[in-house]
Structure 1
Amino acid sequence: MGEHSPQGGGRALTALLFAVYLLLLVWLVLWKFEVPWVGGGVLRQVKLVPFLPSGDADANTAREIVANAAFFVPFGIYVALLAPAWRWWKGVAVAAGASLALEVAQYVLAVGSSDVTDLIANSAGALAGIGVVALARRRLQARTEVVMARVCLIGTVLAVLATALFVVSPLRYAPPQDGAATPGYSATVERGPL
């Protein structure tokens, strides 16, 4: 990666947008945009075989894998913008570490299945985000930071609006905490992405 970096207010704005993205990401991964809760152990699963069925876990769907990768593309973009001197593999390692922390948190809190496939897909998404910034630097050169900061601002605002719309909608993707049926909850999306 090049030596360009956001200056002054641009770097602060990018860091603030990254913090908002991380909050949304944690809320999505752990609680699927529901009120935070701790599970009773039923959802405490570990799937160590990527992509294929193993133990009680089904094979991952293409939709899950693509969604996991897509949710981590911004992670790679933000890391590339905030740490422009890092080699690509450092950014991927940070994303993989964050993904691993989220998978462990899902297990500890019993709020979802911990899956090696998610770790792989999330890391691939972050790598794609780093690649987007590398391509932007080639094409836009000195304007890269300004243009990418605007893209991040627009993307984060849209993500916040989409989250707000989802929260007020009747759709539910998190399993019910008490085991009872929840209106709008579909067992076919119980695991969901991430």
Structure 2
Amino acid sequence: MSVPEKNPPRPDGRALRIGMFAIYLVLLTWIVLWKLEVPYIGGGELRLVKWVPFVPGSGADGSAPLEAVANVLFFVPFGLYLGLLAPSWRWWRTAATVAGASLLLEAAQYVLALGSSDVTDLITNTAGGLAGFGLFVLARRRLRARTVPVMTRVCVIGTVVILLLSGIVVASPLRYAPPRDAASTSEAYGDPLASSFPSRAA
């Protein structure tokens, strides 16, 4: 007869972390590509590639500081989640993963004609992911054995807060997506992640 274990192993919460990471990725994609609007395919006039970072070029304006900061902040959770799910990774592997995901989003923007595909976004998004991974490394040095449960709670709470804020934005009259029929305006080629001047829906 087998003797039951006195202290059965507790679930480590990995499934929860993977699930919340998946929710974050879906939300991030929705924000980057459609700015919380109903998904759509744009017109060919919105298909633009801006190769020179931070400065005006290719028919697009230079990157506003607020837009660059928004890009960084939106990708910080990416680095945190990678730290939780792949704690043995070196920083360069994390950077490559974040840069690859950002490149896929920029390519999707071009294919779907949703706004400018900007090298600036690739740089700032990768910087945000590295910042998040760096925060995880610092937390691991400070918290040691408590790192995973503490950072899991931080990521879960942060993801839930972002979900709630996104719901508020969707329910509000504010709209941040570029106009679909504004082919000749500079707003049509603005940064696909953030808009300096939100507009109200008609």
- TM-score normalised by L of structure 1: 0.89
Match status 1:35 vs 2:38: yes
Shift of 1:9: 4.2
Shift of 1:178: 4.6
RMSD, aligned α-carbons: 1.9
Contact 1:65/1:193 (8 A) holds in 2:
no
Match status 1:191 vs 2:194: no
Shift of the 92–142 alpha-carbon distance from structure 1 to 2, 3 Å rule, reads: same
In structure 1, the residue matched to 2:116 is 113
Greater C-alpha radius of gyration: 2
Q: Which runs of 4+ in 1 moved over 2 A?
A: 175-180, 187-194
- TM-score normalised by L of structure 2: 0.85
Structure 1 counterpart of 2:173, one-letter code: P
Deviations 1:87-140, CA, capped at 9 Å, x for gaps: 111011000000000000000000111000000000000000000000000000
For structure 1, list consecutive stretches of 5 or more residues without a partner in the other structure: 1-6, 181-186
Structure 2 counterpart of 1:150, one-letter code: R
Match status 1:16 vs 2:22: no
In structure 2, the residue matched to 1:166 is 169
For structure 2, list consecutive stretches of 5 or more residues without a partner in the other structure: 1-9, 195-202
Shift of the 58–190 alpha-carbon distance from structure 1 to 2, 3 Å rule, reads: closer
Distance 1:50 1:65 in 2: 11
Counting aligned pairs with the same residue, the percent is: 60
Contact 2:115/2:190 (8 A) holds in 1:
no
Distance 2:115 2:127 in 1: 21
Structure 1 counterpart of 2:47, one-letter code: R
Alignment of 1:145-160 (within 5 A): 145-160=148-163
